[in-house]
Amino acid sequence: MPSNKSVSDAPIVQFTNCRILRDNQLQREDLWVREGKILNPEKLFFDEKGSADVQLDCKDSIIAPGFIDVQINGGFGVDFSLATDDFKSGIDLVSHKILSHGVTSFCPTLVTSPPSVYHQVLPQISVRNGGAHGAGILGAHLEGPFISKEKKGAHPEHCLRTFEAGAFQDLLATYGSLDCVRIVTLAPEMRRSSEVIQELTKRGICVSLGHSVANLSQAEEAVQHGATFITHLFNAMLPFHHRDPGIVGLLTSDKIPAGRRVFYGMISDGIHTNPAALRIAHRAHPKGLVLVTDAIAGMGLAPGRHTLGQQVVEIDGLNTYIAGTKTLSGSVATMDTCVRHFQEATGCSVETALEAASLHPAQLLGIEHKKGTLNYDSDADFLMLNDNLYVRATYIGGEEVWRQDASGM
C-alpha cells in the first residue's frame, strides 16, 4: 500500500528485526522514521493508511538513542581550548570522528584559559544539528576558570579567577559572550557564587559544581540557587567524609528542592574512578548518572605528548598526566568504551548503561523531548549496537552517518 502523500511526500523507513530501547527497556518492535523524526506506527496505519517505502533488516541489533557527551575537550589532535585560525575545521574533524563512537550530540569543552582564548574561540562555536558532516553541537561547556586553586587538577593556576569584584560581570568580561554556552563548571564555595549561579540559570545555562573544596551545605545552597550538575564526581573535589560528605553528599541529600534532580558526570574509563566508587555512586543515585569522556586532544592518537589548553600532557597507555607529574588530565576514552566499562563494572542492565549516555544527559540539558529517547516525534538520532554494546551503525535524523565495515563486525 503506498504511503499517504497528502500527509507528507517524504519516504517512510521501517527498521525491522531489532530490539528498541524505549520506556527503560529493550522491546522487540520495529522503528519507523520519516523526515528525521520517529513515527508512531499506529497513527501511520490508522490515520494516514500509510506504510513503509523502505524496509531495513537490522539483523537483531539493539537500537538505542545516540550518545550525548557533555564534557569533551577535544580529540584526534584537536584541542578545543587552543585558539587557532582553523578552529572550525578542528571542531568539524572531532564531530565527524566521534560518530564511530556512537556520539550524535556533544558539548565542546574548554578548560581554564586566559580571557583572550574565550574571546577568540567562543564566537567560532555555534549550536548546530548533526548529520553526515558530524555530531550535533549543543553548546559549549566552560570548565573554569572560576574554580578552586586547591582542586585545580590539570587547570593552569595562573589563569584561575574569582568573583570578588563584579560577580556576574566578571564572568561576562572573562568569557566575552554566553551566546553558545550550555554548561559552566564553577566552585560553589567562592564568594558571590550564588548570584552568579542564579544569573546563569536564568539564562538557561546549566551550572555544574566541580574543581571545588565545597562542603555539603555550600553544595546544597548552590543547588537551591539552580545548580543541577556535578563535574566528574570524585575527581577534583574533597574526598567523601562521613561527617561532611562534601559535594558527593548531594547524591543522597534531603535538601534538594522538590521536583529537581541533581545529575553527576562520571569518567568511566577504568582510570579516573575505581569500579567500587562507580558502583557506590550508581547505587546511591542511579537516575542522576551521566557518562562523560572528558576526552583530550590525544584521544584517538598514539601515546606521547599532547596539549590540554595551556598545559602539556603525556599519554601513557590509558593514563593521561600533566607532563612531569602524576596529576590526571582528562582521558583518552571513547564514549562507547565508557558505556561498556560502566556496564561491566556495575553489573547494571544494558538499558541502564545506554541511558546513562543518552537519556540522562538529555534530561540534564532539558532536551529529552527530542534527544536521548526513541519516543514518537523525537529526533531520529540512534545507534545500532550488538549485544556486547559495540556500535554497528550511527544514524542522525534517520540518515546513516557511520557504519562499521563488514570486517569489523
Residue ranges at the known binding site = 143, 154, 211, 232, 235-236, 243, 272, 328-330
Instruction: Write out the DSSP string of 70-84.
Output: EEE-EETTEETTS--
Q: Is the CB of residue 191 less than 8 Å from the CB of residue 148?
A: no
Joined together, the cell numbers standing for residue 64 give 538505542
Q: Is the CB of residue 104 less than 8 Å from the CB of residue 145?
A: no
List CB contacts of 276: < 8 A, sequence separation 6 or more.
none
Please confirm, yes or no, whether 294 is among the known catalytic residues: yes
Paired residues of 229 in beta bridges: 208, 263
Catalytic residue among 79, 294, 336, 381: 294
How far, in Å, CA of 346 to CA of 8, rounded? Answer: 45
List CB contacts of 92: < 8 A, sequence separation 6 or more.
133, 134
Q: Is the CB of residue 209 less than 8 Å from the CB of residue 227?
A: yes
**Cell 514518537, residue?**
376
Residue 152 CA, distance from chain mean position: 21
How far, in Å, CA of 79 to CA of 72, rounded? Answer: 10
Q: Is the CB of residue 267 less than 8 Å from the CB of residue 236?
A: no
Residues of the binding site for Zn(2+): 143, 211, 232
Q: Within 10 Å of residue 131's Cβ, how many Cβ atoms?
A: 16
How far, in Å, CA of 295 to CA of 76, rounded? Answer: 10
CA max distance for the chain:
69
Q: What residues are annotated to the active site?
A: 294
